Amino acid sequence: MKPINVGLLGIGTVGGGTFTVLKRNEEEITRRAGRPIRITTVADKNLVLAREVAGNDVKLTDDAFSVVTDPEIDIVIELIGGYGVARELVLKAIENGKHVVTANKALLAVHGNEIFAAAQEKGVMVAFEAAVAGGIPIIKALREGLSANRIQWLAGIINGTTNFILSEMRDRGLPFADVLKEAQALGYAEADPTFDIEGVDAAHKATIMSAIAFGIPMQFEKAHIEGITKLESIDITYAEQLGYRIKLLGIARKRDDGVELRVHPTLIPAKRLIANVEGPMNAVLVQGDAVGATLYYGKGAGAEPTASAVIADLVDVTRLHTADPEHRVPHLAFQPDQLQDLSVLPIEEVITSYYLRMRVEDQPGALADITRILADSGISIDALIQKEPAEGESQTDIIMLTHQTVEKNANAAIARIEALDVVEGKVTRLRLETL
């Protein structure tokens, strides 16, 4: 049978891994796909490096637009990244009737609605398993494996850089800045790690998963995003003493009045499997009404793990290349005309529990004043630690875990607590999920 011709845009880490795995497992992949899949053209600005990776049997070019308009190309793999030229290339490929496979979570989270609408109109597929959690097949699980379920919520450790940093901070008691330098030296963090450590990368991925889980448009601009840069080692220690681990979670929860979509450091009970995901690994926990909780774990980045997801998409697209577009799996799991117009709720309306740490004068009535403020806001306390003051000091730490409440109530209570004369500085507040 005639091979499927693939144009590869970008032959860096993931592109090189895709080329290598596709060549190494060519026979197995052909047996699965029903016909050969061959990368016939590679576009990259660095032609010397591209030739080293791809060899002499592939056409090379530094003009990516020539690939997306080439009538001989059936599928375009976009691995350039970013929002700009990648968007132009993907839309041009779709306009020319080509299927697209991409690992570009930022592109889809921000421009996915436009891209999927264009693909639907043109009758082509846009596949993006590699855009979320690297080699973990979470997109296929949400879109197909769990299609009998009402997805109630999902929570994911979906950024390996931050998970490595938090694991090291907990295990070794080191401050954030020191562990970040180590992560950069080991290659787990980029020279500019902003997207990772500020939670933006995780928010891109959580946005994509929320759209598929709940059948809603991409709404990245409404996501609440907090990173780990302000997290202190002392809070990781206190959380551990209370039986919790702190992880940067991407959380999406469906409610009757909308969807919670948020990324932030989160306390999780240490006994939960997801709390024990360490180092640069990823994991996604999904709660469905029929199946209950399911956990997906694996490598969230790297050349070959991500290539695994890219090639799985290639196989899927090849199998369905000639299928009636009406009978393909929809991009966002639900039929395009069946997406719900559910808005993402503002963070003030989120319902969760809280970890509160405050520096307080060690004097009679101080704790009573604090608990009275919480009670006035309808917030009940689940656990409390009051540390003994260090020798020669008049202040001590009070750590509280609350039961669930609406965030705006917690904000109001914290503002009143910070105004007390017995409380020094700001209250440290972290969200807590029992999952």
For 119-154, the pLDDT digits (tens) are: 999 999 999 999 999 999 999 999 999 999 999 999
Predicted confidence (pLDDT) at residue 188 exceeds the cutoff of 90: no
Average pLDDT on 193-207 reads 97
Please report which confidence band the pLDDT of residue 331 belongs to, taking 50, 70 and 90 as the band edges. Answer: confident
Please report which confidence band the pLDDT of residue 324 belongs to, taking 50, 70 and 90 as the band edges. Answer: confident
Burial bucket for residue 68 (CB in 10 Å: 0-12, 13-18, 19+): buried
Q: CB under 8 Å, gap of 24 or more: what pairs does 420-425 form? A: 420/366, 420/369, 420/370, 420/373, 421/361, 422/360, 422/361, 422/363, 422/365, 422/366, 422/369, 423/358, 423/359, 423/360, 423/361, 423/366, 423/370, 424/359, 424/360, 424/361, 424/395, 425/359
What value does the mean pLDDT of the chain take?
95
Higher pLDDT, 308 or 322: 308
pLDDT in tens, 96-126: 999 999 999 999 999 999 999 999 999 999 9
Angle at CA 13, nearest 5°, toward 250 and 204?
20
Angle at CA 34, nearest 5°, toward 28 and 39?
70
Which backbone phi and psi does 316 adopt, to 5 degrees?
-60, -50
Residue 390 is classified by DSSP as P
pLDDT in tens, 341-394: 899 999 999 999 999 999 999 999 999 999 999 999 999 999 999 988 888 888
| Residues with a known catalytic role | 205
Higher pLDDT, 92 or 83: 92
pLDDT in tens, 205-246: 999 999 999 999 999 999 999 999 999 999 999 999 999 999
Strand-pairing partners, residue 295, are 285
Strand-pairing partners, residue 344, are 259
Which range (42-51, 78-87, 201-210, 317-326) has the least confidence? 317-326
pLDDT at 334: 86
Structural domains present in the chain? 4-135+303-338 (3.40.50.720), 138-299 (3.30.360.10), 351-432 (3.30.70.260)
- CA pair distance 352, 249, nearest whole angstrom: 13
Residue 112 CA to its chain's centroid (Å):
15
Predicted confidence (pLDDT) at residue 325 exceeds the cutoff of 80: no
Angle at CA 76, nearest 5°, toward 70 and 78?
125
pLDDT at 1: 79
3-state secondary structure of 273: helix
Say if CB 433 and CB 155 are below 8 A apart: yes
pLDDT at 333: 79
CA-CA distances (angstroms) from residue 35 to 8, 118, 312? 18, 27, 14
Shortest CA distance to 39 belongs to which of 69, 64, 63, 60? 60
Predicted confidence (pLDDT) at residue 326 exceeds the cutoff of 80: no
pLDDT at 361: 93
Residue 76 CA to its chain's centroid (Å):
24
Count the residues in the chain.
435
Predicted confidence (pLDDT) at residue 162 exceeds the cutoff of 90: yes
